[in-house]
Amino acid sequence: MQILLTRALSQSGPLQILLSKNGYLPVLFPSLTIKALNNFPRKNHYDALIFISANAVEYGLEVLKTLDYKPSKIFAVGAITAKKLEQQGIKVDAFPAQNPSSEALLAMDELQALNGKSVLIFRGEGGIETLKQGLEQNNSIEYIAVYRREISPISPLHQQSLQQFLQNDAGIITATSVENLTALIALVEKIDAQSLSKIKDYRLVVLSQRIKNFANSIGFNRLFVASKTSDDGLLEAIQSIS
């Protein structure tokens, strides 16, 4: 069975290998490219650091090296982001284990306890303002954009992968962010606008309720949310419906 992988090409490898080992045929359709940004914060110490994605960790490491972060509280938006930090030897004080989202993180007691603190939020350019809005009344909030997501330029790989995937109605699409899914739709429309409605008929496995709600709003109906926000979670969801 074909599984359409829509992550950035640089981040598809582990899931591609995992699916192949379990008898699936991964089809690469990178919807986004990710570029590092050369931004730095105004200070060298903050009471709390928040990372809102695994990309924020990966592209924020150079910034982290400039900070005195050892005394800081460290928060992550979900398990994948927390794991990425821990792989770098950084202890994570809290993260929502079940529902990876800014809303779930904000609702945690550890975040609600922040009062009169300086908080630095690592994110991508143009991210949502949920955390700032929830924390700024009692704290000093600063964002740092450490990466930019852009829709991938159309390549022969996109054209070949789309043609291959559409040859069989039994395939499954994966999407790991709203931006990821938005870019997928934009690329399909540019490559073959007539295929847009067909793409939305495929089963779609996503990592969160937020992505599911967005997917439903743009016309996807066969939607499944992985029970774990990880590649293993995606695999388990795919296995449960295939």
Q: Give the range of the structural domain holding residue 55, as residue numbers without chain letter.
A: 35-149
Task: State whether 48 and 130 are in the same domain.
Answer: yes
What confidence tier does 209 reach under pLDDT thresholds 50, 70, 90?
A: confident
Task: State whether 117 and 167 are in the same domain.
Answer: no
Q: Is the pLDDT of residue 79 over 90?
A: no
Q: Please give the pLDDT value at position 208.
A: 86
Side-chain-facing half-sphere of 47: CA atoms under 13 Å: 12
Quick check: pTM over 0.75?
Answer: yes
Chain position carrying tokens 């045929």: 25
Task: State whether 39 and 144 are in the same domain.
Answer: yes
Task: State whether 129 and 47 are in the same domain.
Answer: yes
Task: State whether 113 and 136 are in the same domain.
Answer: yes
Give the SS3 label for residue 153.
Answer: coil
Cβ atoms of residues 16 and 26 within 8 Å: yes
Q: Is the pLDDT of residue 10 over 90?
A: no
Task: State whether 138 and 181 are in the same domain.
Answer: no
CA–CA gap between residue 210 and residue 201 (Å, rounded) = 19
- Domain of 166, CATH number, reads 3.40.50.10090
> How do beta strands 32-36 and 140-151 pair?
antiparallel
CA–CA gap between residue 108 and residue 181 (Å, rounded) = 28
Domain final position from 112, 128, 149:
149
How much is the mean pLDDT over the chain?
Answer: 93
Q: Which residues of 10-22 are buried (b: 16+ CB within 10 A; e: fewer)?
A: ebbeebbebbeee
Cβ atoms of residues 161 and 184 within 8 Å: no
Task: State whether 52 and 11 are in the same domain.
Answer: no
Q: Please give the pLDDT value at position 182.
A: 95
Q: Please give the pLDDT value at position 110.
A: 95
Task: State whether 92 and 145 are in the same domain.
Answer: yes
Across the range 198-202, mean pLDDT stands at 96
Task: State whether 133 and 168 are in the same domain.
Answer: no
Domain final position from 112, 133, 149:
149
Indicate the number of domains in the chain.
2
Task: State whether 23 and 61 are in the same domain.
Answer: no
Q: Which of 85-94, 141-150, 167-176, 224-233 has the lowest mean pLDDT?
A: 224-233
Q: Please give the pLDDT value at position 214.
A: 96
Q: Which of 136-145, 162-171, 199-208, 223-232 has the lowest mean pLDDT?
A: 223-232
Q: Please give the pLDDT value at position 210.
A: 86
Domain final position from 149, 173, 194:
149
Provide the angle, in degrees to the nearest 10, between the axes of the packed helices 231-241 and 13-21: 40
Task: State whether 85 and 144 are in the same domain.
Answer: yes
Task: State whether 199 and 221 are in the same domain.
Answer: yes
Q: Is the pLDDT of residue 196 over 90?
A: yes
Q: Is the pLDDT of residue 61 over 80?
A: yes
pLDDT 10s digits, 119-133: 999 999 987 788 888
Q: Please give the pLDDT value at position 77.
A: 92
Q: Which of 134, 166, 129 is nearest to 29 (CA)?
A: 166
What confidence tier does 230 reach under pLDDT thresholds 50, 70, 90?
A: confident
Q: Please give the pLDDT value at position 155.
A: 96
Q: Please give the pLDDT value at position 97.
A: 83
